[in-house]
Structure 1
Amino acid sequence: MNILENNGNKNPDEFYSSLKEKLEATHDFPEDYLFKFIITNDEAKLTEIYRVFDNMKFTMSSKESKNGKYTSLNMNAFVLDAEQVINIYKEVGKIEGVIML
């Protein structure tokens, strides 16, 4: 699921409503869900993302870009439903400079 896919001119409510429908159609919640983010190599941004996943069971892997400017993060978290996935995307979306895939 690519959060960056072309969503036309939808307002955020329409976008998240559409995302919820897609998630419910393609996933069998509760389950592990893979979140993918790209951040600048900034420890503070990583800490902010960790805070979003606080109180959740998750594993994380990361890979630094060739030039060392960016890090890609894979956060595999156990989520209960599509609403929880959307809430996580909304919270991470508040962190400046994070690209959500």
Structure 2
Amino acid sequence: MDTKNPEEFYKRLQEQLAESTDWPSDYLYKFIVESDPSKIEKIHSIFDNTGAVIESKQSKKGKYTSVSITVNLKNPKQVIDKYKEVGEIEGIISL
């Protein structure tokens, strides 16, 4: 993600998603976060009651956890809104 201008990044992503995908559609999110149970729980809570399938895997040394989330969303705006919510978690990396 372009950390210097996140709004421009999100705008471009939303346009690309609108052009390349028929909505509603499944979307796959991938995040890396420190293996802190409270941070992982925050990610889970953002996707509560959405029907999301969430898979977590710790790194070899256990310091980080990758979180993959597949969820059916109605439109590109919903994709961006979830990225913004998760982005508020300190130290999270969106892939």
Q: TM-score, normalised by structure 1?
A: 0.86
Distance 1:8 1:80 in 2: 26
- Per the TM alignment, residue 33 of structure 1 is displaced from its structure 2 partner at its CA by 0.6
Q: What is the percentage of aligned positions where both structures have the same residue? A: 46
Which residue number corresponds to residue 34 of structure 1? 28
Match of 2:83 among 80, 86, 89: 89
Aligned in 2, Cα 1:42/1:82: closer, same or farther, shift over 3 Å?
Answer: same
Number of residue pairs the alignment of both structures matches: 95
Which residue number corresponds to residue 17 of structure 1? 11
Aligned in 2, Cα 1:67/1:8: closer, same or farther, shift over 3 Å?
Answer: closer
- Specify every segment of 5 or more residues in structure 1 that has no aligned partner in the other structure, as ranges: none
Q: Establish whether residue 60 from structure 1 lines up as the match of residue 58 from structure 2.
A: no
Distance 1:8 1:49 in 2: 20
Q: TM-score, normalised by structure 2?
A: 0.91
Which residue number corresponds to residue 77 of structure 1? 71
Distance 1:88 1:15 in 2: 14
Structure 1 stretches of 4+ with a deviation exceeding 6 A read: none
Distance 1:88 1:18 in 2: 16
Two-structure CA RMSD over aligned residues (Å): 1.4
- Per the TM alignment, residue 60 of structure 1 is displaced from its structure 2 partner at its CA by 1.2
